[in-house]
Structure 1
Amino acid sequence: MLEQTPREVLVIGGNRYFGKRLIRSLLDSGDRVTVLNRGSAPPPPGALHLVADRDDEASLTAALAGRSFDVVVDQVCYTPRQAAVAARVFTGRTRRYVMTSTVEVYEYQDAAAPLAEGAVDPLAVPVDLDLRWEDPEVAAARYGEGKRQAEAVLAAAPGLPYVAVRVAHVLGGADDFTGRVAHYADRLRAGEPIGVSVPNHPATYIHVDEIAAFLDWATRQEFTGPVNAAAHGPLRTADIVAAVAEALPGGPYRADYRPAAAPGDGDGDGGVGGGPQPSPFSFARSYGMDNSYAERLGFRFSHTRDWLRRAVAETLEGN
């Protein structure tokens, strides 16, 4: 049996959470991995390191001089401006460009059934390059919109075979830095109310190890365009809270759910009508993802019931 030639893979960002797991998976498969960041953190052992500001086209171009890659995985493309720079720099420099996108591209949808990729066509998304995307507050407030417009820029770029992996909400890992699971643990311990949207819809999730495996798999395929990545089994807020309550010592704990204040109403726990602010994993719109396209392509997703309790427990152990 002939050995496969190691691939040259560039990962932009990827120094935490599922990015670290992706890099380890690529290295374990024999790929030659280069990590590009601003120098804020070294790459995992075994990976090469390039230092550049991905927002600075001249800096990025200089760092990549004479380099080309079989695959680029962009973990930190959040805005259409960043996508436009990437399209100019990587067209002709890679055979495959995989952008980590998000379920939040569907944030304007409200559907009874899980959403397939066609619900948001990148080529139909208007792009506003003049918005102050460099302002962190602007970018954070428009996270889903930034990803949607980034996809639109890549879709319109001639000669760049791109994939946009629309990632479901990620759970698991002692290195979960988001604080979302910890939010519920703190509320339960303190006996404080948990604000939920009205209505409060289930959403799609994926384990941190599974999304790393999916991204690795996506680098080895031939398809292009958007693809949803989500485990089977949508979860409600109460499902996650129940798993948190079970994992906490000193129980039993009782969840006190309250209708949440509308966004922008009041602050802290003093929203209009006295309602608490919406908690994480509480969704007033229904925009869970359909994962059948990826499964037709050959990836097999897990079911949330097989790992939810484990994911919550390992996250709480690390916080």
Structure 2
Amino acid sequence: MKRILVVGGSRYFGKTLVTRARDAGDEVTVLNRGSGAPPPGVGRLVADRDDEEALRTALGPRDFDVVVDQVCYTPLQAAVARRVFAGRTGRYVMTSTMEVYDPATLPAGLPAGLETVTATATRSGSGPVPVPVTEASLDPVRLPLAGAAGRPPGDRPAYVYAEGKRQAEALFLRDPAFPYVSVRAAHVLGGGAAEFTGRLAHYVERIAAGTPVDVHESPYATSFIHHREMAEFLYWTTDRTFTGPVNAASHGAPDVIALCEAVAAQVGRDPRYRVVGEGAAASPFSFDRAYAMDNGRASALGFGFGRVADWLPGAIAETPRAAG
């Protein structure tokens, strides 16, 4: 039995992780701002994680075998957590994102050795040729610090999200206070209405209605993972000893056209496309750059990923359509 603290854990695969750990016999506690009551048999602490004093007060003398941090988005949050949980946990697992690899959000003038992220694909007569990125493709410790200590944050939401995760990883990895893992998650799908981003619903609704989907001329493949598989992977990491970044993605990396075809097979209507110009916004999961992930490290460590092709039809079928 492990004593596990989940920071966040009130929605989507975080909720699944909490019940998975509880059902395995672990002593599970969630910590959040009171956004939702945990399931029966799970402890609860209420605090704003940004408030260091309030966080310490909520924790009291408690310590844990593992902390799983679902909602660390900024280096400030990482710094608070690093100070507060030093000496309180034997392992810290942070849910990060594949967006840390996105060439569109990486700063110019990368240190030597990081350029591989921006050169992950070439074009030929047959279109994109993706080269999946490994964990070694990006070492956030080698990136310049943000804010007053380095470059200012960008103003685009995608940049802010990706850069926040990169900087949070960097802070935990510099002079580690405890064994630390950053799980770089692929795009998480499935769960019907629980999939709160609405990205898969975007395709289901548009294709079912005959509305064109905005795509790039030669879209690149990307990585996905089912929400239950993501929760299972996070739980798996709590019982291991490896540290550092690890990619979490199901086998297979479809592009947006393959995704649309899978949706079409479920809704019974052929997709229509509208090609957008270079640099223009497109539908979710249509990418004009490559950063699909290699899941080889996690596989070698013993985790058995499923295949996107096996679970995607079910995820599409359970996605609600807009009324009318």
TM-score, scaled to structure 1: 0.87
Displacement of 1:96 in angstroms is 0.2
Deviation string, structure 1 residues 202-261 (Cα, Å, up to 9, x no partner): 11111111111000000100011100001111111122212222222xx4x222212225
Equivalent position SS for 2:246: strand
CA shift for structure 1 position 143: 0.8
Moved over 6 A (4+): none
CA distance in 2, matches of 1:78, 1:154: 12
- The aligned counterpart of 2:306 is 302
Match of 1:236 in 2: 255
Matched, 1:146 2:141: no
Residue 33 of structure 1 is matched in structure 2 by: 28
**Alignment-derived partner of residue 232 in structure 2:** 213
- 1:104 is displaced (CA, Å) by 0.4
Task: Work out the CA distance in 1 between the residues paired with 2:187 and 2:242.
Answer: 23
**Among 46, 56, 61, the residue aligned to 2:56:** 61
Which secondary structure state, in structure 2, belongs to the residue aligned with residue 164 of structure 1? strand
Q: Which residue of 1 aligns with 2:138?
A: 120
Asked if residue 313 in structure 1 is aligned to residue 322 in structure 2, the reply is no
Structure 1 gap segments, 5+ residues each = 1-5, 266-276
Judged with a 3 Å threshold, the aligned counterparts in structure 2 of structure 1 residues 130 and 287 are, in CA distance, closer, same or farther, namely same
CA contact (8 A) 2:3 2:28 kept: yes
One-letter amino acid of the counterpart of residue 162, structure 2: G
C-alpha spacing 1:318/1:165, structure 2 compared with 1 (3 Å)? farther
Consecutive unaligned residues of structure 2, counting only runs of 5 or more, are: 104-116, 122-130
Match of 1:292 in 2: 296
Measured against aligned partners, the alpha-carbon deviations of 1:119-171 in whole angstroms (never above 9, x if no partner) come to 0112212222559xxx9x77665111111111000001432211000001111
Corresponding residue SS for 2:320: helix
- Equivalent position amino acid for 1:124 in 2: R
Question: 2:46 & 2:30 partners in 1: Cα distance?
Answer: 8
Maintained 8 Å contact 1:105/1:147: yes
CA contact (8 A) 1:127 1:153 kept: no
Q: 2:265 aligns with which of 215, 221, 246?
A: 246
The one of 257, 261, 265 aligned to 2:273: 257
Distance 2:159 2:120 in 1: 23
Cα 1:95–1:128 change in 2 (3 A) is same
State the one-letter code of the partner of 1:179: G
Q: Say which SS state the counterpart of residue 94 (structure 1) adopts.
A: coil
Deviations along 1:85-142, one digit per CA (max 9) or x if unpaired, are: 11111111100000000000100134131111000112212222559xxx9x776651
Change in CA separation of 1:60 and 1:138 when aligned onto 2, cut-off 3 Å:
farther
Post-superposition offset of 1:313: 1.0
The amino acid of 2:15's aligned partner reads K
Residue 161 of structure 1 is matched in structure 2 by 179
Q: Secondary structure at the match of 2:29?
A: strand
Contact 1:96–1:219 under 8 Å retained in 2: yes
Paired residue type of 1:299: F
In 1, are the aligned partners of 2:204 and 2:319 still within 8 Å (CA)?
no
RMSD of Structure 2 on Structure 1 (CA): 2.1
Q: Give aligned pairs, total.
A: 296
Matched, 1:187 2:206: yes
| Residue 194 (structure 1) shift | 1.1
Confirm or deny that 1:111 pairs with 2:120.
Answer: yes
